[in-house]
Chains A and B, each alone.
Chain A
Amino acid sequence: MMRADFGGVAGDWLAPGGPDADVVISTRIRLARNVSNHKMPWRMKADEQAAIEAYLRDRIQASAAIDSSTYFNLSTLDEPSRLLLVERHLVSRELAKKEGDRGVIFSAGESTSVMINEEDHLRLQVIRGGLRIEECWRDIDRLDDSLSDFIDFAWTPELGYLTACPTNVGTGIRVSVMAHLPTLVETKQITKVEKAAAQVGLVIRGLYGEGTKSYGDLYQISNQVTLGLSEAAVIENVRKFAAKIIQWERGVRSLLLEQHRTSIDDKVRRSLLALRETNSISFDAAMREVSAVRLGVVLNLLRGISMQTINEVMLFIQPAHLICLRGALPVAAERDRVRADFIRERLKSEDSLNLGS
């Protein structure tokens, strides 16, 4: 179990204060890369997978491209530990769930991570808080260049980077922006957002839950097309659309505040109270309250709770994190109690910090 490694510390990118952090939680860019002349992971036998995994780990570490890195081979971890990596956005659910030798190497602040043997041999990722697309690109571009000096990537001038799935061929890039859109959800405009995204070749998806329903009103905006556009063009496209969505959400927020201040105020206060007092709460119920509290913080309706705290609560109430904070839990009902305990404690410690001021 990795409990010792993670304790209660969150990754760098959760720290508040990024650009447009009132709407954008984080920005993420990933690049898909494969080794020339080698079978894709799914096509390899177990021993071949093990060999390529060891080889790539060695090459990545030799390149020294990732600062003070931590490495895990997921086949040596138990399920809660793998799930923990998923919740911290260091690996995908697919990597955690599949079989065989597969690894992850990530930086000290957890903003940079490389997955080995997911759908492609390598999936590079850089994640930062707030809207920081250009910064993410600078970092991942540099990482990609460094690694390309140590690993012979499958690439042709005609088709670009050759990936396992044709939907990723070319640049192999996926630019994603995670946004908190409570008022667009409230005013039932998410479908409009979907249509607008489709018009510019982008897609928007709820982070948790099915289809357009999303726990915590969290949505991810990403590009679809990867071939025939430069990386800069893809980035520009996402940036422009994200700017539109941010403005849109902000506009509805001020409108609602103007017209329904009392009821919004009431709602966010009740949510904060619920989180302070609850002794058992499910993940989706908690996310509902957390979303309201986050809105309250952003609109300056709630005092005595910081963005940092609410971001951390969002992360740590996920199932695997609870397990790691308190020890293995067999039953869902217990998890709900532990979740509530954690939330109360976290909010209380925030209060004690504020009592001084």
Chain B
Amino acid sequence: MLCEICGQNPATVHFVQVVNGRKSEQNVCEPCHAKAGLADPIAGSKLKDLLGDVLEKKGILGENHVTLLSQLVEALGDRRGSKACKHCGLTLKEFQTRGLVGCPNDYDVFKVEFSALLERLHGRLKHAGKGPRRRVASLAREERLAALKQALAEAIAAERYEDAARCRDELRDLHLLHPLHHPRSEGGAPS
């Protein structure tokens, strides 16, 4: 079937709208759908209503955010991929219905898709706050170790042996410290 708008590309997006009880169907290609979507964001679309509902009920999103999110979700919806998270089985379609991820790994599985979403929601993409204290300390230690190893190699190469000795000493001290590991949890959380 060819796109009803341009008549050239194959129609890969099948769009059903119910407005005032009357059903209308459109079969279009992705570029035309995207263009049409921008012109008339999702009036009457089930996706917007569902997602908008979910988020508005929380009372935490103003109208602007809801519209934005809906537009982004529409953009996500263009992908016909059947990618699913190995751990929880979530697909993008399910996310669109619910507005929630199925498990923490989804942020990695759908990294690309969620990047746009997160940036529009928060205006930023990189975490700037705190973390679980043992994890943070452990990460800091790893970074220091790596930096020291690098410095040591450079010092040796440049024949700055005093600097090298200092690096080596600090490395030894760090290695001697009790290695930080996972939180105390006898047996771990149930799977």
CA distance A102 to B128 in the complex (A): 31
Contact present for A227 and B125 (CB under 8 Å): yes
Chain B residues within 8 Å of A35, by CB: 189
Give the contacting residue for B185; candidates A150, A162, A203, A224; CB below 8 A.
A150
CA distance A173 to B130 in the complex (A): 11
A40-B103 CB under 8 A given contacts A55-B189, A160-B127, A166-B121 = yes
Chain B residues within 8 Å of A229, by CB: 124, 128-129
Contact present for B104 and A167 (CB under 8 Å): no
Q: Mark B125-148, 1 if CB is under 8 A from A, else 0.
A: 111111111110001000000000
Chain B residues within 8 Å of A158, by CB: 126-127
Contact present for A157 and B139 (CB under 8 Å): yes
Task: Name A35's closest neighbour in chain B (CB-CB).
Answer: B189
Contact present for A152 and B185 (CB under 8 Å): yes
Give the contacting residue for B101; candidates A51, A156, A166, A233; CB below 8 A.
A166
* A window 203-237: CB within 8 A of B: 203, 205, 222, 224-231, 233
Give the contacting residue for A198; candidates B62, B103, B121, B185; CB below 8 A.
B62
Query: Is B100 part of the binding interface, using a Cβ–Cβ cutoff of 8 Å?
Result: yes
CA distance A228 to B165 in the complex (A): 40
**Which of B13-21, B37-45, B53-61, B153-161 is near enough to bind chain A?**
B53-61
Q: Report whether over half of chain B's contact residues are helix, strand or loop; otherwise say mixed.
A: loop
CA distance A226 to B126 in the complex (A): 11
A59-B127 CB under 8 A given contacts A42-B100, A227-B122 = no
Give the contacting residue for A162; candidates B55, B107, B123, B130; CB below 8 A.
B107
A164-B101 CB under 8 A given contacts A52-B190, A203-B62, A225-B123 = yes
Chain A residues within 8 Å of B107, by CB: 156, 159, 162, 169
Task: Name A92's closest neighbour in chain B (CB-CB).
Answer: B58
Contact present for A149 and B184 (CB under 8 Å): yes
CA distance A39 to B81 in the complex (A): 22
Query: Is B118 part of the binding interface, using a Cβ–Cβ cutoff of 8 Å?
Result: yes
CA distance A170 to B124 in the complex (A): 10
CA distance A347 to B98 in the complex (A): 47
**Most chain-A CB neighbours within 10 Å: which of B114, B118, B129, B135?**
B129
Contact present for A167 and B61 (CB under 8 Å): yes
Query: Is A153 part of the binding interface, using a Cβ–Cβ cutoff of 8 Å?
Result: yes
Contact present for A59 and B185 (CB under 8 Å): yes
Chain B residues within 8 Å of A157, by CB: 127, 131, 139
Query: Is B88 part of the binding interface, using a Cβ–Cβ cutoff of 8 Å?
Result: yes
Contact present for A43 and B90 (CB under 8 Å): yes
Task: Name A225's closest neighbour in chain B (CB-CB).
Answer: B122
A224-B102 CB under 8 A given contacts A152-B185, A152-B189, A166-B121 = no
Query: Is B87 part of the binding interface, using a Cβ–Cβ cutoff of 8 Å?
Result: yes
Give the contacting residue for A228; candidates B90, B99, B127, B130; CB below 8 A.
B127
| 12 further A-B pairs in the complex, CB-CB below 8 A; given A155-B132, A166-B118, A228-B126 | A36-B104, A37-B189, A39-B88, A144-B130, A152-B189, A164-B100, A166-B117, A167-B121, A173-B129, A203-B60, A227-B122, A228-B125
5 contacts between A and B (CB under 8 A): A35-B189, A37-B103, A166-B114, A170-B129, A203-B61
- Which residue numbers of B lie inside 8 Å of A, CB to CB? 55, 58-62, 64-65, 87-88, 90, 98-105, 107, 114, 117-118, 121-135, 139, 182-185, 188-191
Q: Which 7 residue pairs are nearest across A and B when measured between Cβ atoms? A: A228-B124, A160-B127, A154-B104, A148-B132, A162-B104, A227-B122, A171-B129
